[in-house]
Structure 1
Amino acid sequence: MSLNIIDMASPNYSSRDGALVRWLILHGTAGFETAQQVGTYFGERTSQVSANYCVGTDGVIVRSVPERFAAWGNGVITGPAGIGGDGVHHDAWWDDCPQWGGLPNPNPVTISIEHVKPSTDNSDTLTAAQKNASFALIKDICVRQRIPMRQANSQGGITGHFSMDPVNRSRCPGPYPWDELWAFLKGASTVTPNKWQIADAQKEWQSAASLFGGTAPSYTTGIAQAWAQRVYAGQRLGPPLTAEYDSTDWGGNAIRVQQFANARCEWRTDGSSCRFFDARGEIL
């Protein structure tokens, strides 16, 4: 599905100051009839609020803040820690997020998506066009930003505004087809290769066998599987030049590393992320 995105710039944003985006936060507008109306409101400096995107009931998406900037939609963490969604407690893992790093609010590490809901209590369900556009936008963002395509935890993912602000936003985003979203993303997280792509990837992996005394590194590890998925999708990462080895990232997290001809892979040993880099930075 192609995304129908209209740009309506908002002045209400901040720098991410180098913070890594790890969460997608879904919202409901509790008012307004169209995404363009929301975009106009976000465009007013006096509103002092914004989201990166807003999805209309007709499937039109308005982009108010580019993803490289932090929109002002996610505010602060409220309520005592517990299990979010009860209107009292915020999800306890927000209190122990290594990527959050004690920032005053989560905006620098989140991307926010509003959904037009004319009812002030956010009780509207998504229209078919709105749901399809929302799912496609979420997938697109997650793939590019390497956000885990699952329910959020302390390592990243997708959740609603209620997760962090139960005091003021317990009904945000209101009804949302979460189970359908997870099923959609599960199917979207991998590329189904044909037999020729499978054979070509295996041949490329084995092409470096001479570097390892005639036997290439294992082709069944998590890194190897992630490498194969990217090769199926058309990325040319090159064959492995090393076996996997243990290391740590800049945040002190344990990772497994493997070097390829055109890239380096860093696999978090807790399974929360698998990232590839070249000389220019992360390969999205």
Structure 2
Amino acid sequence: MTEPAPFQADHAEALVSPSPNHGERKEARTPDMILLHYTGMETAEAALTWLRNPASEVSSHYFVHEDGRIEQLVPESRRAWHAGRSLWKGDADINSASIGIEIANSGHPGGLPAFPGAQIDAVIALCRDCAARWRIAPERVLGHSDVAPGRKVDPGEAFPWERLHAAGVGHLVPSQPVSGGRFLQRGDEGQPVEALQAMLALYGYGIEVTGEYCAFTEGVVAAFQRHFRRERVDGIADASTIATLHRLLSALPAYAG
């Protein structure tokens, strides 16, 4: 197997470990999104080997080890293959729009282990650097589960989005505490479901406004909870979920004030 060509790291703290799995960003796009993943594999070494194997046809721009070491696999100017079938704000080519960051963590298969502090510090520094260089808006720092609800669940509900937000990375609001009250769930129909779907779509989720709380709607709600209301991830739109979604939309720059 021919070794992929070396390149100059875009992030000063990254060690270059080239992957052959990349291509041109379509329509000469530049990245305007950062997409975070967990590896979901037993070891970092196995995940890194897979991302650099041409047979896998997957890759990411960066790989962050548990101890905070960063490896760059694909130049930021190139289209890494990390998002798969995804959608955000009507855009189906998330790979051309994004910088993909794989974070070594066994995730749900491994029982959702905590992300070490040094690793999260490195993710924050990397995201801040990428966002500054490419002028990526905070609300465009997302999880894989956001753009592929029902299909992907990473980086998972154990990922500390609050730490990132406190350091200026990502868009977040304090979640409404989980309590009782009215809720929407699979099988419900009507205007309240339409309103929920419309709000989710307005934020960016790839969901149609049908008025039917179907299995896919449940998956989108679970994806929203996994990122923005992590206390309970069950796909049921309770009062806490809906209030948190309202707050999130109100906090967007386009809707503030």
TM-score under structure 2 length normalisation: 0.57
**Is 1:116 the counterpart of 2:116 in the alignment?**
no
Match of 1:147 among 136, 160, 164: 136
Deviation at 1:105, TM superposition (A): 2.6
What pairs up with 1:113-192 in 2 under 5 angstroms? 113-119=101-107, 121=109, 123-148=112-137, 150=138, 152=139, 157-185=140-168
* Secondary structure at 1:168 match in 2: coil
Instruction: Report which of the two structures shows the higher radius of gyration computed on alpha carbons.
Output: 1
C-alpha deviations, 1:126-152, integer Å up to 9, x for none?
Answer: 10110110100000000011101x2x3
Distance 1:173 1:115, change over 3 A: farther
Give me the whole-angstrom Cα distance separating, in 2, the residues matched to 1:32 and 1:69: 28
The answer (yes or no) to whether the contact 1:39–1:63 under 8 Å persists in 2 is no
SS of 2:109's equivalent in the other structure is coil
Q: Within 1, Cα distance between the matches of 2:107 and 2:156?
A: 12
- Structure 1 equivalent of residue 15 of structure 2: 6
Cα pair 2:83 2:95 within 8 Å, conserved = yes
Per-residue deviation, 1:95: 4.1
- What does residue range 42-57 of structure 1 map to in structure 2 within 5 Å? 42-57=51-66
Q: 5 Å matches for 1:1-284?
A: 4-17=13-26, 18-34=28-44, 36-77=45-86, 94-96=88-90, 100=91, 104-119=92-107, 121=109, 123-148=112-137, 150=138, 152=139, 157-185=140-168
Q: As a proportion of its length, which structure holds more strand?
A: 1
Identify the residue that residue 90 of structure 1 maps to in structure 2: none
Match of 1:54, SS state, is strand
**Equivalent AA in structure 1 for residue 114 of structure 2:** T
Q: CA RMSD in A?
A: 2.3
Measured in 2, the distance between the counterparts of 1:54 and 1:169 equals: 18
* Higher helix content, 1 or 2: 2
Tell me the alpha carbon deviations over residues 209-256 of structure 1, each in whole angstroms, 9 at most, x when there is no partner: xxxxxxxxxxxxxxxxxxxxxxxxxxxxxxxxxxxxxxxxxxxxxxxx
- Whichever residue aligns with residue 31 of structure 1, its letter is M
Q: Which residue of 1 aligns with 2:209?
A: none
2:130, 2:69 → 1: CA distance?
Answer: 16
TM-score where L is the length of structure 1: 0.52
Could you tell me how far apart the structure 2 residues matched to 1:174 and 1:70 are?
27
3-state SS in 2 of match to 1:47: coil
**d(CA) in 2 for partners of 1:158 and 1:119?**
19
| Amino acid across the alignment from 2:78 | F
Alpha-carbon contact 2:38-2:107 (below 8 Å) kept: no
State the secondary structure of the residue aligned to 1:121: helix
Shift of 1:32: 3.9
Identical-residue share of aligned pairs (%): 27
Structure 2 gaps, min length 5: 1-10, 170-251
Q: Distance in 1 between matches of 2:101 and 2:42?
A: 15
* Structure 1 residues not aligned, in runs of 5+: 79-93, 187-269, 273-284
Contact between 1:32 and 1:116, CA under 8 Å: does it hold in 2? no
- What CA distance in whole angstroms lies between the structure 2 residues aligned with 1:116 and 1:174? 15
Number of matched pairs: 160
Residue 174 of structure 1 and its aligned partner are, at CA, apart by 4.4
The code of the aligned residue for 2:33 comes to W
Answer whether contact 1:19 1:109 (CA < 8 A) is retained.
yes
